[in-house]
Amino acid sequence: MRITSIAYGTRGDVEPALALADELQARGHKVRTVVAADSAKLVEERGLEAAPAELNIKELLHTAGGLDLMESGQRVGVRRSFKSMRRLFDEHSPGIMEHAYHASRDADVVLSGFLSNVFATSICEKLGNRQISVMAAPIVLATRSGPATLSAPRPGGASIANLLLYKTVLERVDWGLTQGPANRFRTALGLPVQDRTAYYKQLRQTPILRGVSPHVVPHPSDWPATVHTTGYWLKPVEPDWTAPERLLEFLDAGDPPVLISFGSMTARDPRYTTKLLADAVIRSGRRAVLQTGWAGLGTSSMPKEIYVLGAAPHSWLLPRVSAMVHHGGAGTTGQAMSASVPAVAVPHAGDQPYWGARIARLGVGPSPIPRAKLTARRLAAAIVELTTNAEMRHRAAVLGERIRREDGVGTAATLIEHYAGGR
C-alpha cells in the first residue's frame, strides 16, 4: 500500500507522524512523508521518504506574524492573534496545498492532520484516494465531553454547553481561518465550493485516529464510530544518538535535575526569557537542564546549577530527570506523561492551554502558567511543588505505567490497514 502522510508543522507535529510511518513501513507499506523543508532531515534520518515543501516553519515563527502567534490570546489580544493566523494561512497555504496534492497523486491512502484536514479532503475527493485523519489535537468534532473540548465551559464532565461551544464558536473560528484558501484550492481542482456545514459533514464520515491515551483524554461516547482514540504514537530512543560527556557528568553530579524545554516556541527577547528561567531555578534550589529550542535560550555565562543543551531525544532524557517545564504541546505532554514525569506547562499558543489544564486536572502537575504571566517566583514555586509533592509524583508514576502498556502505534497502523481495505 502506498501512503502519503501530510505532516506539516513543528517537530512536535512531525515526530508522532514518523513513529506511525515507521510502523507502517515495517509492515511492508511504502510511506512518503510531506513536511516543511526544515523537517526533511528528521524524516530521512529515520530511513523514510521525505517530500519537503519550500516552507520553513522555524523561519516563519520568527517573523512578526509568527511571534504574534506565539503570544496568542496573551499580550497581543485574541483579535490580533486571529488576524495573524489568518494572514499566515492565506500567505503560505496555497503553496503547501499544491505541494501536498502532487505528493499524493500515486497514493492509495492520504494521512492528514489537524492543519491539513481541510485541504486533504479536497485532494482525496479529486484523486479518489482514501483519507484518514491522524492527529492528537483536542479539537476533532463537536462533543458534550469536557475533557475532549478546547476551552470547555464544563471541563470536568459531559454538558450540552460544551457541544454548543464547539458548534457555535470553535467550528466557526476553525473554518474562518481556512475557508478562503481551501475553497480557492477546490476551485483550482475543479471541485464545487464548500461551506462549513458540508465540510464538517464530510469530516464526520472520515476515519479519525487520535494519537492520545484514553487515560489522558477519555474517548467521548457521542462521537461517530469512525473516531478512535488509539494511545500515543511514541518512538523509541534513537540508537545512533550519543549524549555529550558533559551532560552525563552533570546528570551524575547531583539529584536528577528539572528539564526545561519550550521546543519550537520562539521568543521576542531570548535573553530576558533565559534570565527569568535561570532566576526561577536558583530560587527553587534545584538543578536544571535547559534546552535551547527554537527561541535560542541559554547563554555562555549560566549558573553552575543549569546545563544548557541543544537538541536531544526526550525519550532518552526524560527518564533521567525529576520533573519538566514545557510549553504544553500535545507531543511533549504525551512524552512526559508516558515517562511518568510530573510537569507544568507554560502555554504559548494554540491548544497548549488545553494540555496544560489536562495536566493539572489529572493531578500530574500544577496549574499551567500562561507565557504572558510567567515570572521567576511563580515558576520557582511550581518547580518546588513538582519535586516535593509525593502524591503528584505518585499519580504521574501510575499514569505513565498505564500509558506504557498501550500500543498506540500498533493500534493506529492496524486501523489504517482496516480502513484502506487491507494491504
What's the pLDDT tens digit per position in 300-310?
A: 789 999 999 99
Among 200, 202, 223, 208, which Cα is nearest to 148's? 223
pLDDT band (50, 70, 90) for residue 283: very high
Residue 84 has pLDDT above 90, yes or no: no
Among 15, 358, 335, which Cα is nearest to 345's? 358
Of 55-59, 318-322, 376-380, 408-412, least confident by mean pLDDT is 55-59
pLDDT band (50, 70, 90) for residue 55: confident
Instruction: Quote the mean pLDDT of the chain.
Output: 89
The pLDDT of residue 77: 44
Residue 142 has pLDDT above 50, yes or no: yes
pLDDT band (50, 70, 90) for residue 76: very low
Among 376, 297, 379, which Cα is nearest to 368's? 379
**Domain boundaries, given as residue ranges, for the chain:** 2-232+406-419, 245-404
Residues in Cβ contact with 179 at an 8 Å cutoff, skipping those fewer than 6 apart? 194, 196
Q: CA 263 to CA 241: how far, in whole Å?
A: 18
Dig out the grid coordinates for 300 from the structure.
555562555
Q: Do 147 and 159 meet the contact criterion of CB atoms below 8 Å apart?
A: no
For 52, list phi and psi in degrees, rounded to 5: -75, 135
pLDDT band (50, 70, 90) for residue 73: very low
Residue 105 has pLDDT above 60, yes or no: yes
Q: Do 310 and 292 meet the contact criterion of CB atoms below 8 Å apart?
A: yes
Same fold, 2-232+406-419 and 245-404: yes
Residue 46 has pLDDT above 50, yes or no: yes
Give me the residues paired with residue 227 across strands. 208
Residue 126 has pLDDT above 80, yes or no: yes
Residue 74 has pLDDT above 50, yes or no: no
Mean local confidence (pLDDT), 202-220: 94
Question: Percent of the chain scored above 70 by pLDDT?
Answer: 93
Helices and strands, counts by H and E, the chain: 17, 12
CATH number of this structure's domain 245-404: 3.40.50.2000
For 2, list phi and psi in degrees, rounded to 5: -100, 125
Q: Tell which wins on pLDDT, 68 or 176.
A: 176
The pLDDT of residue 100: 95
Q: CA 70 to CA 74: how far, in whole Å?
A: 9
CATH number of this structure's domain 2-232+406-419: 3.40.50.2000
pLDDT in tens, 228-259: 999 999 876 666 778 899 999 999 999 999 99
Full-model pTM: 0.91
Residue 79 has pLDDT above 60, yes or no: no
Mean local confidence (pLDDT), 122-135: 95
Mean local confidence (pLDDT), 262-282: 90
Q: Which of 94-98, 134-138, 199-203, 411-415 reaches the highest mean pLDDT?
A: 411-415
The pLDDT of residue 92: 79
Q: CA 115 to CA 92: how far, in whole Å?
A: 12
Dig out the grid coordinates for 161 from the structure.
454547553
Mean local confidence (pLDDT), 57-80: 61
The pLDDT of residue 91: 78
The pLDDT of residue 65: 66
